Amino acid sequence: MSGNSIGTILRLTTFGESHGIAIGGILDGVPPKIPISKKEIQKELNKRRPGSKHTSERKEKDLIEIFSGIFHGYTTGTSIGLIIKNQDHKPKDYVNLKNIYRPNHADFSYFKKYGIRDYRGGGRASARETAIRVAAGAIAKKYLYQKYNLRIIGFLKQIGDIKCNTIDLNRVTKNKLFCPDYDCLPLIINLIKNLKKQGDSIGAKIGIFVENVPIGLGEPIFDKLDAELAHSLMSINAVKGIEIGDGFKCVNQYGSKSYDEITPQGFKSNHCGGILGGISTGQNILISLAIKPASSISIPIKTINIYGNRTVIRTRGRHDPCIGIRAIPVSEAMVALTLMDHDLRNKAQCK
Amino acid sequence: MSGNSIGTILRLTTFGESHGIAIGGILDGVPPKIPISKKEIQKELNKRRPGSKHTSERKEKDLIEIFSGIFHGYTTGTSIGLIIKNQDHKPKDYVNLKNIYRPNHADFSYFKKYGIRDYRGGGRASARETAIRVAAGAIAKKYLYQKYNLRIIGFLKQIGDIKCNTIDLNRVTKNKLFCPDYDCLPLIINLIKNLKKQGDSIGAKIGIFVENVPIGLGEPIFDKLDAELAHSLMSINAVKGIEIGDGFKCVNQYGSKSYDEITPQGFKSNHCGGILGGISTGQNILISLAIKPASSISIPIKTINIYGNRTVIRTRGRHDPCIGIRAIPVSEAMVALTLMDHDLRNKAQCK
Amino acid sequence: MSGNSIGTILRLTTFGESHGIAIGGILDGVPPKIPISKKEIQKELNKRRPGSKHTSERKEKDLIEIFSGIFHGYTTGTSIGLIIKNQDHKPKDYVNLKNIYRPNHADFSYFKKYGIRDYRGGGRASARETAIRVAAGAIAKKYLYQKYNLRIIGFLKQIGDIKCNTIDLNRVTKNKLFCPDYDCLPLIINLIKNLKKQGDSIGAKIGIFVENVPIGLGEPIFDKLDAELAHSLMSINAVKGIEIGDGFKCVNQYGSKSYDEITPQGFKSNHCGGILGGISTGQNILISLAIKPASSISIPIKTINIYGNRTVIRTRGRHDPCIGIRAIPVSEAMVALTLMDHDLRNKAQCK
Amino acid sequence: MSGNSIGTILRLTTFGESHGIAIGGILDGVPPKIPISKKEIQKELNKRRPGSKHTSERKEKDLIEIFSGIFHGYTTGTSIGLIIKNQDHKPKDYVNLKNIYRPNHADFSYFKKYGIRDYRGGGRASARETAIRVAAGAIAKKYLYQKYNLRIIGFLKQIGDIKCNTIDLNRVTKNKLFCPDYDCLPLIINLIKNLKKQGDSIGAKIGIFVENVPIGLGEPIFDKLDAELAHSLMSINAVKGIEIGDGFKCVNQYGSKSYDEITPQGFKSNHCGGILGGISTGQNILISLAIKPASSISIPIKTINIYGNRTVIRTRGRHDPCIGIRAIPVSEAMVALTLMDHDLRNKAQCK
């Protein structure tokens, strides 16, 4: 139980290093007779896949293979084995990084903790690991959509100083940057282009919107729905902040002015972000995430090697100017896995 | 496993309703031979205890009773049974609330989920439940302090529009508001006085500072230290946002400017808040929390009853104008429990 | 997680030493709206209670107190706090045992493991701990009976050389020895009387019969129903063997002769004991347990003290000549908790 | 969490159907820097591999592939991905079994539970799944051997009416039947030959002997070492009984005669099988298992199909006359995984 599993009834366990043979996972606890195809999973993976001009140029097809648990197009209730072979792994690229702690990367903390590490491309700490989360999340999304018509939409809220003022969720899936504001889109494309040229990276703010949420998801006290969403989202590489509903805007709100009035027709507002007492209210769930700028940049930065000597590092090539973009499908997947787990937990105890 | 437990090796399980006979908990996984006295636990509970002029006037002595697991002043390695009897419970105060959904409270979501609820004072959803967290956290604090000299200091960063500009941690424990800035203190006291008069409440921003953190705490992938801290802190009533290190400031940072340079003498900055790749770096851990204004206010607010009819509610008496204050010792306790759990997990696998 | 919890969705966590203030437990995961009274729980506890002429003479009323989770006669879905105060604890009786390892007791292994122990009456290792299992089991029994008419009947199969040949389950609850064979009863009573006189103890074989079991309980692979029953039953003090269905009789059976033929009317036999592939078949579940003789006897036996020196020990007074008898209600409780947990797990995933 | 994981700190999660593409597993919680080679794992797998004249003739090379977690010959502390491709899968062999419930197989209970099943060769319920347990167990064995010189030796104690009277453990690894008694060996070979000719199967009794066990493994109350061993061993297909130490012989033992005297030189006997109060005493651990005869036999047996109509079934070809033989390396693996998990748990809390 060294951290490679998440969930209680629906439980994802993963393995794999960035430049090993494959990454993979086991999704356990999926009910039987859910229709799911390889194509549906692949579609989600393609959203996260690198290789576009806005993201890393590492060429990974991220082809999903299903080894078990799905039979004749339906889940069987047994554990689902998911594998993605690594294709464009060039371990040689990393030999020069073998003994260096890249700043803001996990190199330092992994080496201090384990005394040994697979240094190729971040090894286990690489965000490549998140591809399996997306694959598993595709199954959870399907389950939730089929059962509740529930949809999870992640989108760019801000990147650097560019804020999306118009949040048009219909637009999100129509551009590869998950941008909801067409006025911002050219500005963002330009920003990314410049960052690529300069070899720099930038942070971002992600929004997540969930509609058609059933009432009653979430277990009180420690496994509150918001607490478990915070857990699963903060486990995504580079996430440094999370807000539910009004989030940090609460700090200077008055109780008399920021409460969500309940009327016979339902709630009149949604300051709470769809969760009260850790349990979903049936309103839309609203989340924001802060994503730090990628640590791998081609501008030289100062650090030390494992012997404690000063050195300078410059990460060449294939990296993301804004990891906030590819973090969006990963965030959606984590929300889907958490909600589905809580739906099963609720079913166990309350229905 | 309906949400009343937290932790992996160190595991706290709790029970108890706000106006039942008692609240209690079992802390399992504490190593043997840790010296701990009732007095040390009581001292932490007193920090959270209501009854001061700045907080709720409910009179609870919150006297801890230790039923097992500690023998002749030392832990024995067996499970520790902790009980706090409820004293000032006046269930009659709540009869009029029996059929009403108080806005921003858990009433609505609990009733929809369970179809039954102990309506007295919020029942299980009451923040009274957090007293046991503080008691258990006292044991974790002792363990961490004794082993590493590790200290966890929670403090007020902001309340309403009053921001603490000077963060002097030595001052925090010297005032009942956990305020680190003596210039702000009179302003805050005045704000609370006015809120009490008006029967209103306000939000707050809490800071948590952890010093003398060992390197290597945190398990990669899903049980990253920051992910588990987010989980445990977001499980505290009224927390709506969490930041690690720079948090939402990352959104417009550049990778080339916001990295923490590593030198032979250590890190030159701490943007990351003491955690890289989900593992502690040995730097101070820095966390911020957003706390929403208390939902129980004596200004009348609009809502419905369980039959769907409109009504108006006004919570009388004994409530906190800013729950952000009493949330501080609870936050410290949750950080302590999470860090101690990860210390034991690290010991299991890596030492 | 040092072993004081059991179950996945329905989860019991316990605390308490034999001669401390109280023993207690938290039962988490019980669905809301199950009717349950203190009286129903007490009735089960009375079956296990010492104080009869056939068992230990320690006088414990074992009065259950319910601190939370039950409101107006119904479970609320929140965690249930259960407490039993210790009454007839005479710690002084044990001062002379402080530094001695009683053979076949846990003294040696506890002290070697923890380096510290509450030596009073076995401390945490005492079978007194099982009273809370019975209290929690009473709730599980009620749930299973109400939902499925499911009944769990434990009974004496053999004690020393006396075998019960006639298994009349209607008789089991009508005598305090849970004996199903009235021809054996006087023999057993006589055996126990003689053992008491001699200060000796004897082993026993327990049978457990479960009727009206729903089909589908049990999770394949590692959490097979029989595997989890084995776990929960082997966790009872003094259990040294367990059989499901034919058990060790299988060793010289032929596949062609010992299979359970399936007919349109159901199974023609029940060699498998009601479980196939780890999943309940709907037949009766049949289990046998081997119970070792109690270690506390008043015949002097040889051992060493904690300093490694030889000594002789003689346990005075109040002990059970056959712990197999009081182990029966405990076994029923563990089966109930395991079956209810699996019913909830099945509900989560398969219904 | 539908049953495909086992262990607390060391945790094995598996997937895979008998006639799918592959079976696999993730072993999480292995400490870093344990030297382990593919060859060492393969060696264990070869012990369980079918294809000898005494076992099933299904031709599976059972070649292990390690996808992650081992780097340059050492574990890295990250999760270990293990895959075994299925080679000799002939799903067509099973088309005629599609709608039939094979007696004593999991067909009936799986179909009733899930309403869908991969009927090819038992699907997930096939003992083929245990190959991954053996692979993971090889890593645990290596860890235990390297740290404590601990060895786990499984052997045939009885098969049908043939009892091994001489238990010479040196002989066990020198014959493919794990027989410790060379006088019995020709009798057993003859028995198996005849069973193959007749198309029948037979039960067996397995012994497990563990030497050089450290003191202190096992967590009191519910996670006692014997309880967790019972769980992990009873989860192996066809196990119907388990005994620790004297097991069912306890039933007619007297307390005064069957205790293990402690002397300054250690224990004088080992009735308890190396475990007291659920914690290892440092003596050898002694376990017996009852294995039922294989359900797949080529003698026609009566059953029904999924429509409830009577039919007769005869399993052709490639099956084991005594699954007790191949269950031996699986049992060793489960013991190794359980002991290693408890060693890590003990390390977390007690060292």
CATH at A196: 3.60.150.10
Chain A residues close to D114, C-beta within 8 Å: 32-33, 76-77
What is residue D21's predicted lDDT score, i.e. its pLDDT? 93
pLDDT value at position D263? Answer: 96
Q: Which two tokens stand for residue C202?
A: 């004897």
Measured between CA atoms, how close is A38 to chain B, in angstroms?
25
Tokens standing for D33? 């820097």
Structure tokens at D119: 């009927």
- Is A11 annotated as contributing to ligand binding? no
Average pLDDT over residues D198-224: 97
Global pTM?
0.97
Asked if D242 has any chain C CB less than 8 Å from its own CB, the reply is yes
pLDDT category at A38 given cuts 50, 70, 90 is very high
- Count CA atoms within 13 Å of residue C88 on its CB side: 13
State yes or no: pLDDT of A91 exceeds 70: no
* Helix-, strand-, coil-residue percentages of chain D, each rounded to 5: 35, 25, 45
What residues of chain A lie within 8 A of the CB of D17, using their CB? 68, 71, 78
Least confident of A212-226, C184-198, D48-62: D48-62
A157 CB contacts (<8 Å, ≥6 apart)?
A163, A164, A167, A204, A205, A206, A207, A288
D4 contacts in chain A (CB < 8 Å)? 26, 28, 78-79
Residue A207 parent element (H or E): strand A204-211
* A1–D80 C-beta distance less than 8 A: no
Of D125, D218, D302, the CB nearest to C277: D125
**Cβ <8 Å between B348 and D78:** no
Count residue pairs from A and D with Cβ separation < 8 A.
169
Strands C151-159 and C275-276: unpaired
Structure confidence at residue A90 (pLDDT) = 63
Name, of C42-56, D94-108, D324-338, the range with top average pLDDT. D324-338
| Record: contact D77-B349, CB cut-off 8 A | yes
Q: How high is the pLDDT of residue B92?
A: 64
User: Residue C303 pLDDT more than 90?
Assistant: yes
Whether D201 shows a pLDDT value over 80: the answer reads yes
Mean pLDDT over D6-30 rounds to 96
- In a mutational test of the C interface, the residue from A30, A349, A351 whose CB has the highest number of chain C CBs within 10 Å is A349
Q: Which tokens is C301 given?
A: 């036996």
The yes-or-no verdict on residue D239 having pLDDT over 70 is yes
pLDDT at C89 over 70: no
Per the structure, the complete domain to which residue A318 belongs is given by 5-350
pLDDT level of residue B60 (50, 70, 90 thresholds): confident
Please name the residues in contact with A96: beta carbons below 8 A apart, sequence gap of 6 or more: none
Residues of D with Cβ-Cβ distance to A95 under 8 angstroms = none
D121 pLDDT exceeds 70? yes
- Binding site: residue ranges of B? 48, 53, 124-126, 237-238, 277, 292-296, 318
* Torsion angle in degrees (nearest 10) through CA of D105, D110, D113, D114: -170
ipTM: 0.96
Cβ neighbors of A114 (< 8 A, separation 6 or more) are B350, D32, D33, D76, D77
Q: Is A9 on the interface with C (CB under 8 A)?
A: yes
- List of residues 6+ apart from D89 with CB closer than 8 A: D18, D19, D20, D120, D121
pLDDT, mean over chain A? 93
* 3-class secondary structure per residue, D171-209: HHCCCCCCCCCCCCHHHHHHHHHHHHHHCCCECEEEEEE
Residue among D104, D242, A28, D274 nearest C229 (CA)? D242
- State whether A123 and D76 contact (CB < 8 Å): yes
Burial grade of A316 (CB within 10 A; 0-12, 13-18, 19 or more):
exposed
Question: In which band, very low, low, confident or very high, does the pLDDT at A70 lie, cut at 50, 70 and 90?
Answer: very high
Considering only CB atoms, which chain D residues are within 8 Å of B351? 347
CA distance linking residue D114 with residue D158, whole number of Å: 36
Q: What pLDDT is recorded for position A98?
A: 84
Res C332: pLDDT: 98
B95 touches chain C (CB under 8 A): no
Contact, C286 vs C274, CB < 8 A?
A: yes
**A4–D26 CB contact, under 8 Å:** yes
pLDDT at A175 over 90: yes
What is the Cα–Cα distance from B152 to B144, expressed in whole angstroms?
9
% residues pLDDT > 90 (chain A)? 83
Q: Which of A6, A13, A112, A337 has the most D C-beta neighbours within 10 Å, making it the best mutation to test the interface with D?
A: A13
pLDDT band at A1 (very low <50, low <70, confident <90, very high): low
Which has more pLDDT, D148 or C99? Answer: D148
Closest CA–CA distance from residue B7 to any residue of chain D (Å) = 12
CA distance C142 to C126: 27
Question: Which residue is listed with tokens 């209970």?
Answer: D109
Give one word for A323, left, alpha or beta, with left for phi > 0 and alpha for psi -120 to 50.
alpha
Is the pLDDT score of A59 beyond 80? no
B132-149 CB burial, b ≥16 within 10 A, e <16: bbbbbbbbbbbbbeeeee
Residue C2 has pLDDT above 90, yes or no: no
Give the model's confidence band at B192: pLDDT under 50 very low, under 70 low, under 90 confident, else very high.
Answer: very high
Indicate the number of domains in chain B: 1
- Residue numbers in C near D107 (CB within 8 A): 277
pLDDT band at A121 (very low <50, low <70, confident <90, very high): confident
Interface test with B, best of C13, C38, C107, C111 (most B CBs within 10 A): C13
Q: Chain D: nearest CA to A242, how far in angstroms?
A: 27
Q: How far is C276 from chain B (nearest CA, A)?
A: 27
B347 neighbourhood in chain D, CB within 8 Å? 347-348, 351
pLDDT for residue D58: 67
Mean pLDDT, chain C, whole residue set: 93
Between CA D233 and CA D219 the distance in angstroms is 18
CB contact under 8 A, B282 and A112: yes
Answer whether residue D1 shows pLDDT above 70: no
- The pLDDT tens digits for B276-299 are 999 999 999 999 999 999 988 889
Q: Establish if C345 touches chain A: CB-CB under 8 angstroms.
A: yes
Tell me how far apart the alpha carbons of residues C11 and C338 are, in angstroms, rounded to a whole number: 9
> Do B64 and C37 meet the contact criterion of CB atoms below 8 Å apart?
no
Query: What's chain D's average pLDDT?
Result: 93
Q: List chain C residues with CB under 8 Å of A347.
A: 347-348, 351
Placement of tokens 């009601």 in the chain: C274
Backbone torsions φ then ψ of C333, nearest 5 degrees: -65, -45
CB B17 within 8 A of CB B243: no
User: pLDDT tens across A124-149, in order?
Assistant: 999 999 999 999 999 999 999 999 99
pLDDT at C255 over 70: yes
| SS3 assignment, position C253 | coil
Is A237 labelled a binding residue? Answer: yes
Residues 56-75 of B with CB under 8 A from A: none
Q: Is B270 on the interface with C (CB under 8 A)?
A: no
Pairwise CB contact (< 8 Å): B16 & C67 = yes
- Average pLDDT, stretch D151-156? 98
For residue D37, which of D10, D76, D74 has the smallest C-alpha distance? D74
Q: Is position A106 annotated in a ligand binding site?
A: no
C-alpha distances in Å from residue D283, one per residue of B261, D151, D210, D262: 54, 13, 9, 12
Q: What are the pLDDT digits (tens) for A257-273?
A: 999 999 999 999 999 99
Minimal Cβ distance to D115: which of A17, A33, A117? A33
C80:B4 CB<8 A: no
CB pair distance less than 8 Å for A129 and B252: no
**Cβ neighbours of B32 in C, within 8 Å:** 114-116
Q: Kindly state the average pLDDT of the residues C313-325.
A: 84
User: CB–CB of B278 and A106 under 8 A?
Assistant: yes
Question: Quick one: pLDDT at residue B97?
Answer: 79
pLDDT confidence band for B58 (50 / 70 / 90): low
User: How far does the CA of residue A6 sit from the closest CA of chain B (Å)?
Assistant: 6
Is D164 touching C (CB cutoff 8 A)? Answer: no
Q: Which two tokens stand for residue C245?
A: 């269905």
Any chains having at least 3 CB pairs less than 8 A from chain B are A, C, D
pLDDT, residue C125, reads 92
Q: Which residues contact D193 (CB under 8 A, 6 or more apart)?
A: none
The tokens of D19 are what? 């006639």
Report the gap between the CA of A14 and the closest CA in chain D (Å).
7
Exposure string for A158-195, b = 16+ CB within 10 A, e = fewer? bbbebebeeeeeebbeeeebbbbbeebbebbbebbeeb
* Count of CB pairs separated by less than 8 Å, B with C: 170
Neighbours of C268 (CB within 10 A): 12
- Does the CB of D246 have a partner CB in chain C at under 8 Å? yes
Q: Residue A244: its chain B contacts at CB < 8 A? A: 234, 240-241
Are B15 and C113 within 8 A, CB to CB? no
Cβ within 8 Å, pair B77-C116: yes
With beta carbons less than 8 A apart as the criterion, state whether A229 and A243 touch: no
| Helix H or strand E encompassing C41 | helix C38-48
CA-nearest of A339, A213, A324, A341 to A273 is A213
Q: Is the pLDDT at D106 greater than 70, yes or no?
A: yes
Tens digit of each residue's pLDDT (9 = 90 or more) over D67-93 = 999 999 999 999 999 999 998 666 566
